[in-house]
Structure 1
Amino acid sequence: MQTNTPVIALVGATATGKTRLAVGLAHALDGEVVNADSMQFYKGMDIGTAKAPLAERDGIVHHLLDIYDLSMEASVAEFQRLARDKIREIRSRAKTPILTGGSGLYVRAALDILEFPPTDDDLRERLTSQVNQFGVAHLAAELRAVDPDAARRLKDDRRIIRAVEVYRLTGRPFSSYMPRRQYDPDMTPVVQIGLRIDRARLHERIEQRVAAMVETGWVAEVEKLLAAGLADAPTASRAIGYRQMMGYLAGATTQQAAIDSTIVATRRFARRQETWFKADPRVHWIDAEDSDLKTQALEIIESS
């Protein structure tokens, strides 16, 4: 039977210490962790995704790690189903679900009212063929007529095709499917806690993390994954760091250049994460380097 146990969502940029705090809160609240980092779904992608090894999980059950082979394509809609089912199941045992990760859309999919429009492969193929033959201008004009909001935001061909596909299938503007900052009633109550950190310190942490990845066998991990088909993986191959290290292993760059590129790409990703989460007024922010971090988080949870 489901209880009124809150979902605790820990959000923020990469390398701010979300996993460590999640484990601490799980011990304090009789909780279990639900992963919301899209690249940690993949088996074998451990070092490069900073997936917590068993020792760091400290006996806490972690869900939705290592659920996909490399050949699988990650889907936000599928994650929504998996995460919500797991949250319900954890609550049914009177335990606290702790959703943890920096993939903003995945966190929103788990917690918020978020619809996913249907797809039609045949229609999309026809639209793509039209764009390849005649250019995207005619589809862009159609989109401006039926969904001016989406037309202003979407610039690349693939997204314009998708928006037109959705309108033709449903009669609804693609923009009407955009997420709202409103929790799904089935997930409430929810407490979101964000970890913030000084930008210079975050950059230092990112550099330290990448260096530790190399020291603990990241290159060998990528070699093993390449042998298992990483280069052709639809989602996993796009992971930050893995792309760069594949370039090094292919002889296209030096190892140091791959490391430097990974650091730069991770910094950019961290800025996007900060922008995404800071725009949500429901997040309670605390200093990631505060010595009393867990106590602060527990106070927020108890007062919410």
Structure 2
Amino acid sequence: MASTGAVPENANEHCPGPESEAAGRAEGCAGCPNQEICASQAAGPDPDLGVVAERLRDVRHRVLILSGKGGVGKSTFTGQLAFALADDESVEVGAVDIDICGPSLPHIMGCAGDEVHRAADGWSPVYVRDNLGVMSIGFMLPSDEAAVIWRGPKKNGMIKQFLRDVEWGRLDYLLVDTPPGTSDEHLSIVQLLKGSITGAIVVTTPQEVALQDVRKEIDFCRKAGVPILGVVENMSGFVCPSCHGESRIFYPTTGGAKALCAELGLPLLGSIPLDPRIGRACDFGSSFLDTCADSPAAQAYAGIVAEIRRRVEGTV
């Protein structure tokens, strides 16, 4: 009987994980949309892995920002985290945007329209501060409206170039902004940074429709061997800038990120309330913590950044 192409109900349950020798070949892989890329990676080590490792030898911490769900503010969080870390002038920060079809970091970080320059040792990141460099395909597009219509192998090749061909130099943090889901880009970055990922930060909003996808992202991390630093709940409420009263916009019908973390044994890094000025800061490419330091959202960001540093730098 010919295959219908449907994903078996137990496929996810029996997924061997992308790092397994059986990846793409196990019974549970049948019908999975990532079957081909998993099988190709399991066929043998990528000959460029050593080159990537050498290029990133002076990068201390590699942190993935994941969401599972689109529209939860993952790229916004990545950009503001990068700005916050770079506020300490002794800390060198890099941010790489591997959302190939929807690059937004250049705009969020105020460097849209800049160009990537080729140096003697490879591409040079675009620097928004002396200690903060950014790399994104957005710098290479002819216009903001230009669509990237690529299949998986070409996207994976570009991600490899961001790591292999960019002269990152010495970094304390390399933040990786990923697209929603658990697909080509995620498999590529895990494979290319094999065994050297410091951890992942998972961003969600309080409602169950987002938490469902976050559970899938957490399952991906565990199967791929990616440590999870913790969960950030974004848009957890709206704090009125005048009366400071708080209203729930996205109601946590199942308990939100707090209940999720208790269920799955993960740390909740913090909750960030809605503040329209966050969107304004992203539109103008500025640091929200610098421009609105007294807001509840900025204070929440500061607490989360401090907790991330505490965990990443090994003080827990």
Normalising by structure 2, report the TM-score.
0.41
- In terms of fraction of residues, the more strand-rich structure is 2
Structure of higher RCO (CA pairs closer than 8 Å, 6+ residues apart) = 1
